[in-house]
Amino acid sequence: MSYKASFRVWRGDADDGELQDYKVEVNEGEVVLDILHRLQATQTPDLAVRWNCKAGKCGSCSAEINGRPRLLCMTRMSTFSEDEVITVTPMRTFPVIRDLVTDVSFNYTKAREIPSFTPPPDLKPGEYRMQQVDVERSQEFRKCIECFLCQNTCHVVRDHEENKENFAGPRYLMRIAELEMHPLDVADRRDEAQEEHGLGYCNITKCCSDVCPEGIHITDNALIPMKERVADRKYDPIVWLGNKLFRR
């Protein structure tokens, strides 16, 4: 059974834009991205929308639907009533390029700022050994599809452009936590997380975890454990003494 849905889509560029109303056909089993493609095919050939896989795996089609950060390809039309107006807007935290497409290079900049996996210098490739429990701990973090919905949602940068320079965001603090939990990584991730990547800005509101399409427990399994490790170091009397004696 098909019907006509009311769509309100943000159209514009970096300088100016507005919400525009459309009526678009919807068929059984379709997702919001299908409707935007039909809109492109029938009414607005110049509508800009980024996508690739249409299977929830590439992380390209992130936007906001009725104000909620979502993947366009994983949001079923059956979750809305037929008379509901469905508003689609670009991710708010990143600069708009055009229509629903934003410039997400903030995230690539943050990714580059994190030093990569650093094994002990005397260990050669092929000699790495680790426990299954350590493998499993990081497995959850590796489900990340880099959709940046968590980065878009976190209030630390969503409402405060000025924090962007000093805050890596949940996705990249999770990356630091993953490396910190790796038994063969010897880099100092704790001070780095706190001093350079703004772990202290996170006040564990968990909004990042709520919007993650992969269901990763970003706050509970990465950010809180990372905060605990930072606190352990800070309040450990031996470490405190070591810092006093050797860091002058």
CB 32, min distance to ligand FES, A:
10
Closest CB to ligand FES among residues 51, 172: 51
| Residue from 61, 157, 173, 177 binding ligand FES (CB under 6 A) | 61
Q: Closer to ligand SF4 by CB, 72 or 218: give it.
A: 218
Q: What is the DSSP string of the chain?
A: --EEEEEEEEEEBSS-EEEEEEEEEE-TT-BHHHHHHHHHHHT-TT-----S-SSS-S---EEEETTEEEEGGG-BGGGS-TT-EEEEE--SSS-EEETTEE--HHHHHHHHTS------TTPPTT-----HHHHHHHHTGGG-----HHHHH-HHHHS-GGGGGG---HHHHHHHHHHHH-TT--S-HHHIIIIIS-GGG-----HHHHH-TT---IIIIIIHHHHHHHHHHHH-HHHHHHHHHH--
Per-residue tokens: 224:
């809180």
Between 56 and 119, whose beta carbon lies closer to ligand FES?
A: 56
Looking at residues 149 to 178 of the shown chain, list those that interact with ligand F3S (rule: CB under 6 A). Answer: 153-154, 156, 170
Residues 196-225 that bind ligand F3S (CB under 6 A): 202-208, 219, 223
Binding status of residue 148 toward ligand FES by CB under 6 A? no
In this complex, which beta carbon is closest to ligand SF4, that of residue 218 or of residue 230? Answer: 218
How near is the Cβ of 96 to ligand FES at its closest, in Å? Answer: 19
Among ligand SF4, ligand FES, ligand F3S, none, what binds residue 54 when CB lies within 5 to 8 Å by partner kind? ligand FES
Question: Could you say which of ligand F3S, ligand SF4, ligand FES, none residue 144 binds, taking C-beta under 5 to 8 angstroms by partner kind?
Answer: ligand SF4
Chosen from ligand SF4, ligand F3S, ligand FES, none, partner binding at 53 (C-beta under 5 to 8 Å by type): ligand FES
Yes or no: say if 65 and 58 are a contact pair by the CB < 8 Å rule: no
Residues that bind ligand SF4 (CB under 6 A): 144-150, 171, 211-214, 216, 218
Residues that bind ligand F3S (CB under 6 A): 153-154, 156, 170, 202-208, 219, 223
